[in-house]
Amino acid sequence: MNDRGKFFGLLMGVTFSVFLMTMMMSMFSGIISRASATIDNVGAKVWVLDPAVNNLQGGIPLPDYVLDYAKSLNGVAHAEPIYFGSALAKLHNGTYQAISVIGLDDSTLFGRPALIEGKIEDLFAENGFIVVKDAEFEKLGNPKIGSEFELNDFRVKIVGIADAKQSGLFGIPTLYTTYKRAITYIPTTRFRLSYVLIEPKADSEIPMIKAQIKKLGYEALTREEFIAKVSAFYKFKTGLGINIFLMTVISFIVGLSIAGQTFYTFIVENMEKFGALKAIGAKKRQLVLMVTTQATLTCILGYGLGVGLASSSIFIARANMPDYAARVIFFNLGLSFLLVLIIAAFSSFIGIRKVLKIQPFEIFRG
């Protein structure tokens, strides 16, 4: 550490590597979280879907008897339909905007969002819709209660503004309305039921419900299982997962190479000092501890700086860009720390090999 040039070079190399690794993993975590945002926002404990469905947007319509069957199960407190659809809205200024429409059961409105403004009862009024105030809210012209626009030649009137736990992934504003109104406004196939939402009488009834739905040829998943299924789709069945993984690996290799090369150069340039220490009686264990301590301390300092820089960048980006999806979670921090320890171990190994091969008489030969 007394060689400030090499110390700061090594420190900046590790910091930059941790920064890139944390940013890549945080962006991926944020994207995966937003991909299943609607599942979390709706809040149903159990979702019934076609087994072929692997993401929320790719839902396969279910026949109506699936809903009737779900309602007849003993462990079910209530089961309600929900509809997911997409359409083009024509705004008051003449422009068109893609929107996502969620249709809630007409009698219970199960899965409804929390309202910031308006009354939920107004959803039953003619042409009533609720708009979600998220990162995409501005794309509809910042509508207020009473605002109107067209959807497939039907009039839409905003009767409420809702809050959402988090925004969706695809940058599309979200509207809520009743189930019957949604399937009336948006053209559908013969089957119109996107999913069945089940509220069990008790959590202990969920395994029985899942088994009964499976006998019918469909799949019942808890909220956590559905989110995990959506996450697995984006991780392994799209280019998103592999691209983020490769960028993380590249960042790790950059840090590994910079740290290893810099530390090796430091050892080579100080061979005489290590040889002198060995000549006056320093044991191998002491030399190994000396090298390991320096490498580990430098890498941990670089980890702290890298995580701090990444967290600050994400905080600033999210404050100024609502669509920015990155988020820092403990798993990302833990994985980055593990990779930093590997970098420290690799750097130490390179240095230790060179130090242990030193013969004291070679130092004094000249």
Position 244: which residue type?
I
The domain locations on the chain are: 4-35+239-363, 63-217
pLDDT at residue 336, rounded to an integer: 87
pLDDT tens for 83-109 read: 998 888 888 888 898 899 999 999 899
- 147-159: pLDDT as tens digits: 999 988 899 999 9
Separation CA 136–CA 322 (nearest Å): 8
Q: What is the rounded distance in angstroms from the CA atom of residue 72 to the CA atom of residue 82?
A: 18
Q: What is the pLDDT of residues 30-42, one digit of tens each?
A: 888 887 888 888 8
2: tokens are 């007394």
pLDDT at 16 over 80: yes
- Rounded distance between C-alpha atoms, residue 104 and residue 302, angstroms: 50
351 or 94, higher pLDDT: 94
Banded model confidence at residue 361, pLDDT cuts 50, 70, 90: low
Instruction: Assign 204 a pLDDT band (cuts: 50, 70, 90).
Output: very high
Torsional sign, CA 151, 191, 47, 221: negative
Handedness of CA 47, 118, 139, 89 (dihedral sign): positive
For residues 196 and 111, the answer to whether their CB atoms sit within 8 Å is no
Q: Residue 357: what are its φ and ψ, rounded to 5°?
A: -85, -5
pLDDT at 269: 76
364 pLDDT tier (thresholds 50, 70, 90): low
CB contact set of 104 (below 8 Å; sequence gap of 6+): 80, 82, 110, 111, 112, 123, 176, 177, 178, 179
pLDDT (mean) for 293-308: 88
Pair 152, 87: CB distance under 8 Å: yes
* Nearest-angstrom CA–CA distance, 292 and 262: 14
Mean pLDDT, residues 190-202 taken together? 91
pLDDT at position 179: 93
H helical segments located in 88-238: 179-185, 206-215, 223-236
Q: pLDDT at residue 259 above 80?
A: no
Q: What is the mean pLDDT of residues 223-228?
A: 90
Of residues 208 and 349, the one with the higher pLDDT is 208
- Averaged pLDDT, 191-197: 91
Give residue for tokens 């019918």.
Answer: 216
Would you state the pLDDT for residue 158?
92
pLDDT of residue 312 exceeding 70, the answer is: yes
pTM for the model: 0.77
CA atoms within 13 A on the CB side of 137: 18
Close Cβ partners of 119 (under 8 Å, ≥ 6 residues apart): 159, 160
Residue 80's pLDDT is what?
Answer: 94
Q: Does residue 14 have a pLDDT over 90?
A: no
Is the separation of the CB atoms in 104 and 177 below 8 Å?
yes
Nearest CA to 186 out of 129, 264, 226 is that of 129
- Per-chain mean pLDDT for the chain: 85
The pLDDT score that the predictor gives to residue 67 is: 94
pLDDT top residue among 324 and 54: 54
